[in-house]
Amino acid sequence: MKDKYIDKLTPVQYEITQNKGTEQAFSGIYWDTKKDGVYRCVCCDEPLFSSEEKYDSGCGWPSFWDNLQAGSIREVVDCSHGMQRTEVCCNRCGAHLGHVFEDGPLPTGKRYCINSASLNLAEK
């Protein structure tokens, strides 16, 4: 499946979405974006998050308190790097997006911490 995206993605996008990489904090193009729109999977164009649920968590990555629609993302237990976290993937194509944490704002209490390189913003 990885080879399907090798010519479509930049090296950074490929490393993050296909090899579960992470961009440096405060380096991605969307971490502080305030534009209205829908954030889509950079690989398959699936709508994943809305600017209406985006907030500044201070972590250096785009953060959302909810995903756009049920079934658009998949959560997977990630025990890498000596810790247990919950990985977030695009449910349609399996691309690695980031992680979700239980320290976000109400009403969900979730913080979807997502790599900018895994997203494309379709502005309104």
Instruction: Dig out the tokens for 78 from the structure.
Output: 């990630």
Residues carrying an active site annotation: 113
Over the stretch 19-63, which tens digit does the pLDDT of each residue have?
A: 999 999 999 999 999 999 999 999 999 999 999 999 999 999 999
Residue labelled with tokens 């379709």 = 122
For the domain with range 2-123, which CATH number is right: 1.10.357.10, 2.170.150.20, 3.40.50.1820, 3.30.70.520? 2.170.150.20
Domain boundaries, the chain: 2-123
Of 39, 28, 21, 33, nearest to 78 (Cα)?
21
pLDDT at 15 over 70: yes
The reported pTM is: 0.93
Contact between 30 and 113 (Cβ < 8 Å): no
**Which pLDDT band holds residue 3 (cuts at 50, 70, 90)?**
confident
Question: Which tens digit of pLDDT belongs to each residue from 60-100?
Answer: 999 999 999 999 999 999 888 888 999 999 999 999 999 99
Give the pLDDT band (50/70/90) at residue 5: confident
Q: Give the bridge partners for 112, in sequence order.
A: 64, 100
Question: Does residue 105 surpass a pLDDT of 90?
Answer: yes
Distance separating alpha carbons of residues 97 and 71, to the nearest angstrom = 15
| Integer Cα distance of 100 and 63 in angstroms | 9
